[in-house]
Amino acid sequence: MFQLWEFHGSIYDLHMYFVEDRGESEFRARVMRTRCYAVSIERLRELMVKAGYANVRRLDGRLFQPLLAGERET
């Protein structure tokens, strides 16, 4: 498995390749593609507040990357 990232400013295309090799003369490869919007943690916090979330906070040490949590009335 490997990834290819192609950046176009704050937008990037992500290609995730899965290669299956069973030791035969041929192999099988699959690719999954998506387009992402790269934003900073601060920009994401701003977007959450703009969307109506309150008490937006950064949580470190929970996963391999920071998490943002917020509260929203239902």
Check residue 59 and give its pLDDT.
94
The model's pLDDT over 39-60, given as tens digits with 9 standing for 90+, comes to 999 999 999 999 999 999 999 9
Instruction: Measure the N-to-C terminal CA separation of the chain; round to a whole number of Å.
Output: 41
Check residue 73 and give its pLDDT.
78
pLDDT bin (cut points 50, 70, 90) of residue 31 is very high
Q: Is 19 helix (H, G, I), strand (E, B) or coil?
A: strand
- Look at residue 4 and tell me whether its pLDDT is greater than 90: yes
Domain ranges of the chain: 1-38, 40-74
Taking the C-alpha atoms of residue 1 and residue 14, their distance in angstroms, rounded to an integer, is 13
If you write DSSP's letter for every residue of 2-68 in order, what string do you get?
EEEEEEETTEEEEEEEEEE--SSS--EEEEEEEEEE---HHHHHHHHHHTT-EEEEEE-SSSSS-EE
- Look at residue 74 and tell me whether its pLDDT is greater than 80: no
